[in-house]
Amino acid sequence: MNTSTEQKLEKIRAGRDLSVSDVCSIDELTVKDIELIFDLAREFKKSGTEKLTLLKGTTVFNAFFEDSTRTRSSFELAGKNLGADTINISGSNTSLKKGETMLDTTETLNALGAKALIVRTSKAGMPQFLAQHVRAAIISAGDGWHEHPSQALLDTFTITEKFGSLKGKNILITGDILHSRVAGSLMRAVLKLGGALRIAAPATFVPRGLEKVFPCKVFFDVEEALKGADVVYTLRVQEERGANGFIPTLREFSKAFGVSEKRFALANKDALLMHAGPVIRDIEVHSALVPHSRSMILTQVENGLAVRKALLWLLCDRCDKRVKDFQTL
C-alpha cells in the first residue's frame, strides 16, 4: 500500500517523464524536464526525511573521486529515504588506484545491478562519456571545471520557491567563474529559465568570450553589479584548481570582490544571498552575512535533498525503460 506521499507524487508524475536518461549537463534538460523535477521536489520537500518505498530493491552507487560533504550525503540520504540500497565508493579506496580505468570501474558497478551512478570526477566530460557505455543512469555530481547540474537545479529551485520564477530576475554570480563548475551549470540554468545573468569578477576569473556563449553583463566592479540584483550568488576561489595563480592574494580578492553587509545592501531589498558551499568565510562572503535572514545557504542544502530525490526517482525508472529497450533489440 503506497503512503499518501507516494500517491501524491504518482499523481504529480502521471503522464509526464524526463526527456533524458542521464543528467550530465543542464544543456540536456528541457524546461519541461526542469518543471517536472521542481514539481516533484516541492512534494518531496513537504515529506522531509519520510521513509518511502519508491526505490525499494534498487541499487544506487555514489562514486565520488573528489571530496564532497553536501552532494554525497545529500544523494545518499535521498536514496535511503526512497528505499534504495545506496553504496558509497571514493577515489581513495577503489581499484582505480591499481590502474583500472574509470570506464571499467563504471561497467563493474553497472554489472552489479546499479540503476543510477552518481559520479564526481576531476575530469570534465567524463560523466557524458560513461553515460554512452552503461545502462545505469549517470548523474554528474561535478566534473572538473565543467558542470554540477544537480547543484544548479537546487539553486534555481530555491530561487523559484522565493520569487515564483526566474523570469526577469537579475541573477548576479560573483567570484571565481573560471574554475567553477557550479557557475558552469548555473549560468546555463538561469538563461534556460529566463533569468537575466550578471557576472562580477576580476578579469582573470572571467573566461574569454563568456558573453558570446552565455548572454550576460560582465562587471569588474562588484558594487556596480550589485545594484538592482535580485540574487547575489557568491563563489569561492577554487584553490584546489590553481585559482590562486589568477589573483594577487586572497586578501586582495576579498577587498575588491568579497560581499560584505554594506555591499549586500546595494542589492534589491528582497535580494537573496546564495552560495553552493563550502563557504570560505571572510573571503568571498563576509562571515556576518552567512546567517543573514536572506541568506539561502542552508535552504539550498535542504532543497538539494528534495531535488535529488526527484532526480533519482525519475532516472532509476528511465534506466528500467532503457534496459527493456536493450532487451527488445
Of all helices (H) and strands (E), which one includes residue 170? strand 170-174
We find the least distance from the C-beta atom of residue 5 to ligand CP, in angstroms, to be 26
241 scored as a contact of ligand CP (CB under 6 A): no
Q: What φ, ψ does residue 238 adopt, rounded to 5°?
A: -85, 80
Is 165 a binding residue for ligand CP by CB under 6 A? The answer is no
Q: Is 276 in the site for ligand CP (CB under 6 A)?
A: yes
Binding region for ligand CP (CB under 6 A) out of 25-33, 214-222, 272-280, 284-292: 272-280
Tell me how far apart the alpha carbons of residues 43 and 46 are, in angstroms, rounded to a whole number: 5
Nearest one of 272, 188, 263 to 230, comparing CA atoms: 272
Contacts of 123 by beta carbon, 8 Å cutoff, 6+ apart? 102, 143, 144
Closer to ligand CP by CB, 21 or 150: give it.
Answer: 150
Count the alpha carbons within 13 Å of 26 in the hemisphere toward its beta carbon.
Answer: 28
| Residues of this chain, 135-164, that bind ligand CP according to CB under 6 A | 142, 148, 151
Contact in structure between 2 and 117 (CB atoms under 8 Å): no
Helix axes 297-328, 70-81, angle to 10 degrees: 60
Q: Does 69 bind ligand CP (CB under 6 A)?
A: yes
Q: Which of 47, 62, 71, 170 binds ligand CP (CB under 6 A)?
A: 71
Report the residue number, 9 or 305, with the smaller CB distance to ligand CP. 305
The answer to whether 125 contacts ligand CP (rule: CB under 6 A) is no
Residue 276 CB, nearest approach to ligand CP (Å): 4
Interacting residue ranges for ligand CP, rule: CB under 6 A: 68-71, 142, 148, 151, 276-278
